[in-house]
């Protein structure tokens, strides 16, 4: 069996971090299994779906490196849905209902007021031909519901949650088609999963009850069931479901200067028993992905953890991986010298400006002027052969008697304008002798 997974976003908005995690996990399972990962744009809501959102979804997946093997749009598949809908009508698995939304809401409130679950009472099934004709004469158009089989409990073994059991009598017959003929999510998704040969449906635990009703749709269409896996939802760093998670997406991550692999490293294992580690290559994440590692506890998404992972990954990146994103003239030696002090690759430009100048160094303390004058005089006679920083500080220590912070800090400030930064041995070599002498002279 070829494993086939799918990511099926609706192009009615931008992807958020929860969507990205679902896409990643489907992609990881397909790649680990040597299978296929499908992108299906669930755009049956023609009024809210937008081409620009579809383009943004593709761009986000591409930035993350989640290449898909095939793409489909539900708006191209209406003829198939119509065909299967007619078959379900013929077999008695769907039926028309004429209640208005206001009538349904009133019934719901009455049931809740009695302490009962707000389950649809199937009143539409007992309508007489005369009542139906009267509704039609009023201009009412029916919406359509899928008729659940109440005789057998709905049971499946979830790859994450274990055995799941639902009593269909406690579920409302789901509306699958609106009165205007437009489709709701439930039935087209099943029809497409069957037609596309999807073998594994991996999504959030908020879809568990949907799965219960969709399992009966698979049966009504005489199709084999895919395997289902429902993962715990993400929570914010404050420990509860966060609205902020809905606004965090690729645009936010890119604005922060994050590496795609930082996002993947965190989301691939978030909510699992496997340690979250920084990876510069996706292969270990593919190899270690396993549904058995995931539990039912909510997974806490922490932006601080993401930033920390990103910093560690930046420190792992070779020059060849970042050369195209570095300032003109910044070569491998400069990258190796500056990289340990970076949180993002973009920050390399700030340090490169310090190397190339010009910049304003802070005014030295009065007691440091003679010290910097001596540094200028000594550096003039020191060859730049890779050991110039050690030679300069050793000579100053011997002549001026300084050590520690009193020795190093005035030099760093005069040469870089900063109190902290990359190792000065590498920085002095990058700055070069002439520029270093000019900077010391201006502060002596």
* Residues placed in the known binding site for ATP: 243
CB 69 within 8 A of CB 37: yes
Radius of gyration, CA atoms only, the chain? 32
The two structure tokens encoding residue 131 = 């009542």
Listed in sequence order, the DSSP H helices in 153-234 are 186-195, 208-220
Q: What is the distance, to the nearest Å, from the Cα of residue 31 to the centroid of all Cα atoms in its chain?
A: 18
Is the bond preceding 358 in cis, omega lying within 30 degrees of 0? yes
Check the CA dihedral 310-315-320-324 and report its sign: positive
* Helices (H), ranges, 13-50: 17-32
Q: What is the DSSP string of 204-219?
A: EGGGHHHHHHHHHHHH
**By the 8 A CB rule, do 319 and 336 touch?**
yes
Residues annotated within the binding site are 243
How far is 91 from 18, CA to CA, in rounded Å?
Answer: 38
Q: Which of 69, 70, 86 is CA-nearest to residue 78? A: 86
- Judging by DSSP bridges, how do beta strands 143-146 and 94-97 pair with one another? antiparallel
Measured between alpha carbons, how far is 257 from 240 in angstroms, rounded to an integer? 27
Question: From CA 442, how far away is CA 35, in angstroms rounded?
Answer: 65
- What is residue 207's DSSP assignment? G
């Amino acid at each position: 069996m070829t494993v086939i997974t799918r990511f099926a976003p609706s192009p009615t908005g931008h992807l958020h971090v929860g969507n990205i995690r679902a896409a990643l996990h489907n992609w990881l399972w397909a790649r680990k299994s040597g299978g296929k990962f499908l992108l299906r744009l669930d755009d049956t809501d023609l009024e809210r779906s937008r081409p620009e959102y579809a383009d943004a979804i593709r761009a986000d997946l591409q930035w993350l490196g989640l290449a898909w093997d095939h793409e489909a749009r539900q708006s191209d598949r209406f003829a198939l849905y119509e065909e299967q809908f007619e078959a379900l009508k013929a077999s008695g698995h769907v039926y028309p209902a004429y209640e208005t939304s206001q009538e349904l809401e009133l019934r719901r409130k009455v049931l809740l007021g009695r302490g009962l679950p707000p389950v649809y009472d199937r009143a539409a099934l007992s309508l007489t031909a005369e009542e139906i004709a009267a509704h039609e004469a009023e201009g009412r158009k029916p919406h359509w519901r899928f008729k659940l089989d109440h005789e057998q409990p709905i049971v499946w073994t979830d790859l994450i949650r274990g055995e799941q059991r639902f009593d269909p009598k406690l579920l409302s017959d789901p509306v699958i088609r609106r009165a205007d003929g437009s489709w709701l999510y439930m039935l087209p998704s099943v029809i497409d999963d069957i037609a596309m040969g999807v073998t594994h449906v991996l999504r959030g635990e908020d879809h568990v009850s949907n799965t219960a009703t969709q399992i009966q749709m698979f049966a009504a269409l005489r199709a084999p069931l895919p395997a289902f896996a429902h993962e715990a939802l993400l929570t914010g760093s404050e420990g509860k479901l966060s609205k902020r998670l809905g606004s965090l997406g690729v645009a936010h991550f890119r604005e922060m200067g994050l590496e795609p692999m930082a996002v993947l490293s965190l989301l691939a294992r978030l909510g699992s028993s496997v340690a979250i580690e920084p990876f510069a290559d996706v292969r270990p994440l593919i190899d270690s992905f396993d549904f058995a590692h995931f539990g039912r506890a909510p997974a806490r998404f922490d932006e601080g953890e993401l930033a920390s992972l990103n910093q560690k990954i930046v420190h792992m990146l070779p020059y060849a991986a970042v050369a195209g994103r570095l300032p003109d003239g910044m070569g491998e030696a400069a990258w190796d010298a500056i990289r340990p002090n970076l949180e993002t690759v973009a920050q390399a430009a700030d340090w490169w400006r310090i190397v190339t100048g010009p910049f304003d160094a802070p005014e030295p303390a009065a007691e440091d002027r003679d010290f910097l004058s001596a540094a200028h005089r000594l550096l003039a006679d020191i060859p730049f052969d890779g050991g110039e920083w050690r030679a300069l500080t050793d000579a100053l220590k011997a002549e001026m008697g300084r050590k520690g912070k009193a020795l190093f800090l005035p030099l760093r400030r005069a040469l870089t304008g900063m109190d902290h930064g990359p190792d000065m041995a590498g920085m002095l070599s990058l700055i070069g002798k002439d520029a270093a002498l000019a900077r010391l002279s201006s502060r002596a």
